[in-house]
Amino acid sequence: MRNPWTKLASRLVYENPWIRLREDTVIRPDGGQGIYGVVEVRPSIGVLAINDRDELLLVGQWRYPAGRYCWEIPRGGSHGGETAVQAVAARELREEAGVEAASWTPLISVDVNNGITTDTEHLFLATGLTSTQAKPDPEEEIAVRWVPFNEAVQMAVRGELTEVCTVAAILLLSHLRRR
């Protein structure tokens, strides 16, 4: 498909270690000039960690932007210079939940809110799990919970799990298992 947008200029509005906000001056598809705000985020990962009892690992934490406590799969972003998304997945699983995996299967990559952000989240299935020491980031206070996989599917369908990559990953794996 043809890109109907033309970028005339771009300026950095804000930057911190996790995000950059840029404002582009554009010609819109209707031919008029306007601005488009884009939140730039490094690639991120999500991990469906399934143990030998067919339980899914969920991590719970207060999500400041949402203003509520959320349960979700272990997720995180790459640090500057990290390019191997599977290594990022292994680091996040170990840091957030104190779990290591012997086997990694890439599932799918999904765009996260692609109307305003560049964030692409790479989803993985992790199996052959063993326990290790969790080392959450200083801004994280994380609880760990194991849920039977079929229960996690129902939680996603009932809207008890609301983080979009968590829901997508769970429903994708459920679909793949039915095939």
Please indicate, yes or no, whether residues 86 and 171 belong to a single structural domain of this protein: yes
pLDDT at 83: 63
The parent domain of residue 70 ranges over 42-178
What's the farthest any 2 CA atoms get from each other in the chain?
57
Please indicate, yes or no, whether residues 29 and 103 belong to a single structural domain of this protein: no
Please indicate, yes or no, whether residues 28 and 52 belong to a single structural domain of this protein: no
State the Cα–Cα distance between residues 44 and 46, nearest whole angstrom. Answer: 7
CA 145 to the chain's CA centroid: 18
The residues of the chain scoring below 50 in pLDDT are none
Domain tally, the chain: 2
Please indicate, yes or no, whether residues 99 and 32 belong to a single structural domain of this protein: no
State the Cα–Cα distance between residues 62 and 116, nearest whole angstrom. Answer: 23
Please indicate, yes or no, whether residues 22 and 99 belong to a single structural domain of this protein: no
pTM summary value:
0.90
Please indicate, yes or no, whether residues 126 and 77 belong to a single structural domain of this protein: yes
E-strand ranges in the chain read 6-15, 19-27, 33-41, 44-49, 55-63, 68-72, 75-77, 99-111, 120-131, 143-148
pLDDT at 130: 95
Please indicate, yes or no, whether residues 83 and 66 belong to a single structural domain of this protein: yes
pLDDT at 79: 75
Please indicate, yes or no, whether residues 29 and 109 belong to a single structural domain of this protein: no
Please indicate, yes or no, whether residues 83 and 139 belong to a single structural domain of this protein: yes
Please indicate, yes or no, whether residues 98 and 75 belong to a single structural domain of this protein: yes
Please indicate, yes or no, whether residues 158 and 94 belong to a single structural domain of this protein: yes
What is the sign of the dihedral through the CA atoms of 143, 144, 149 and 151?
A: negative
